[in-house]
Chain A
Amino acid sequence: MTLFVLAAGGLLSTNAGLAFWLGIAFVLLLLLLGKFAWGPITSALAERETTIEESMTRAERALAEAKQLQADNEVARREAEGQAQAILRDAREQASAQRDADVAKTKAEIVRMQESAQADIENQKQQALTELRSEVAALAVGAAEKILRKEIDAEAQRGLVDQFIADLPQN
């Protein structure tokens, strides 16, 4: 029993001097660490956390913006493609219309040229006919004159010639 009490006396003894120094030392430690360690550390951690949170929000926003931008670009690209196709189609249509018009014009020109050629031919033919007629008439008259000089008088000749001319085809 005595031993127990003695043992307890050793372990459970209190010491006012130790309490005094420890009290002072601990207060100093609290102040020291509070000011120079925990202050900077906790404020830095809080700051870092807000920074990270903000950056994440910013990144998310940027991502959304980028996605929006991409979508916009996609729309614009499609629009541009559509426009390009429309332009191409227009051009093609215009080209074909132009070609058609050219063809028609050429055809008309050809027709006109044909017509003018025919008119020329007709004119020339008429002219040639007229010339031929007067030539033939002159020849006939000459021939007839020669014949008639020998056989008939001039009156009989004229009658014959007129008859001859009248019998000539009209064109």
Chain B
Amino acid sequence: MRTLRYALLLTLAALALPAQAAGDEGELDAVHHTSDGYYLDYSPFGKVELPRLFVVRRDGAIGFEAFRSSTAAVASGLYAIGGHGDGDGPHSPTAHAIDDQAEDGVAAERAEAGEDLTAEELGEANAEEILGEQVEPESAYDAVLVPTGDASVVIDLSMTRHLVFVFVAIGLLALLLLPMGARYKRGVGRTSAPRGLLQNTVETIVIYIRDEIARPNLGDKTDRFLPYLLTVFFFILTCNLLGLLPFGATATANLTTTAVLAVFTFVITQVAGTKDYWMHVLWPPGIPWFVKPILVPIEILGLFTKPFALAVRLFANMTAGHLVLLNLVGLIFIVAGMSETAGWATSVPALGLTLFVYALELLVSFIQAYVFTILSALFIGMATAEHEHDHDHAEDHGFTAHDIAVAQSNGRDSAHKAHERTVGTEGVLA
């Protein structure tokens, strides 16, 4: 009971702090809070800027340029603020361009109207203020840095907030699992029963992943791919959970992170693919020749849509949850802007809802780690399954001899049914 109360307190603290921080600046920006950046936000205690590292082509020569922080980079004179952030650090140049154009557009409009702003324009200006646009003086950590002089950035290898939390997750996993491995090596859990809450918990998860995720999909190839599945599950889970801590950031609420993970699954799938798998993709057997030119491009496209769906699903789930949380908190301040009393009144249901969504997020953290892992196992399983190919592909998504053959080759019938279903309804799972 005491633990629960403590957890609630932590939750409230986690939610209150960003809100308070936003209050200091007179704004609450959910997108800003969720997305990546080149600093750690410990508001209201302050911000810690992260080191910047650029691979840069300056006067025709490629070199490294490292700075303690974004501010230091600007102070060195080698970099200039190329545009302010829209709430986060890393911008693509195109987004930046659109940003500039938008400013120009608004400015032009204002010029035309001669400061005679309509209500609509005022609303737009307010919205921009809420989102933190064009209000603050430019700060280096929140801006896009462009090299000065005849130089261009080849690759920006700077530490970002999400990268820090990736490292934190890796550190935590190493701290948790390496001693655990040593424990098993010593014999605790090998010749005796596992001891302690931690070992039992980890073991339960490991056995679940092995028996419920890996084995049904991979059959006798389980041992080969189990380490990857375990790593990816624990990594995603840790990243997801870190995002729920006070001052935490969700590394998995970043399309780059999830894309990298999906690429790992993709590469493993293709490398592990059997001859059967490639035959299936490039020259599907058992269908009339004139259908093949239509089907083969679809199959090839399918190779890429699978990891794409993996990446987007994880990213969208983790991002959406945080946005909902922050928006629920933001509701209080929006209402408080209209009437302070109403703001206080709103805080009760808003915090209740926040708590509910927070609990949901906790659940989603586990579910998304599970979904990513099981789909990875499915894709790898599909690529490594060895089965007969004399089936009729016209009735592809019924339950055909093909399915039975795959299921038999993988050792379990129901698992394959599940996999066909899952593959067919990836969108729904997301």
Contact = CB atoms under 8 A, between A and B. Distances in A.
Contacts of A12: 255
Contacts of A159: none
Nearest to A41: B184
A19 interface: yes
Given A10-B86, A36-B182, A25 B170 contact: yes
A28 B169 CA distance: 13
Nearest to B98: A5
Interface string A5-36: 11101111111111111110110111011101
B181 A13 contact: no
B36 A18 contact: yes
Interface in B62-92: 85-88, 90-92
Interface in B91-136: 91-92, 94-96, 98-99, 102, 105, 127-128, 131, 133
Given A9-B98, A42-B206, A26 B264 contact: yes
A14 B157 contact: no
B423 interface: no
A124 B256 CA distance: 148
Interface string B243-275: 000000000001111011101100000000000
| Secondary structure dominating the interface of A | helix
Contacts of A19: 256, 259-260
Interface residues of B, number: 70
B131 A3 contact: yes
A9 B167 CA distance: 25
Given A2-B98, A5-B95, A9-B91, A15 B36 contact: yes
A15 B87 contact: no
A29 B235 contact: yes
Contacts of A30: 227-228, 231
A2 B125 CA distance: 12
Nearest to A32: B174
A51 interface: yes
Nearest to B261: A26
Contact of A44 (B90, B189, B223, B259): B189
A5 B102 CA distance: 10
Contacts of B131: 3, 6-7
Given A23-B260, A26-B261, A6 B255 contact: no
A37 interface: yes
Nearest to A38: B227
Given A6-B99, A12-B255, A29-B170, A18 B163 contact: yes
Nearest to A5: B98
B92 to A, nearest CB: 5
A9 B95 contact: yes
B402 interface: no
Given A11-B31, A25-B166, A51-B191, 4 more contacts: A11-B255, A21-B159, A33-B174, A36-B177
Interface of B: 31-32, 34-36, 53, 85-88, 90-92, 94-96, 98-99, 102, 105, 127-128, 131, 133, 155-160, 162-163, 166-167, 170, 173-174, 177-178, 180-182, 184-185, 189-191, 202-203, 206-207, 210, 223, 226-228, 230-231, 234-235, 254-257, 259-261, 263-264, 319
15 contacts: A6-B98, A7-B131, A10-B88, A11-B31, A13-B92, A14-B92, A18-B162, A18-B260, A28-B170, A30-B227, A32-B178, A33-B178, A36-B177, A42-B226, A44-B184
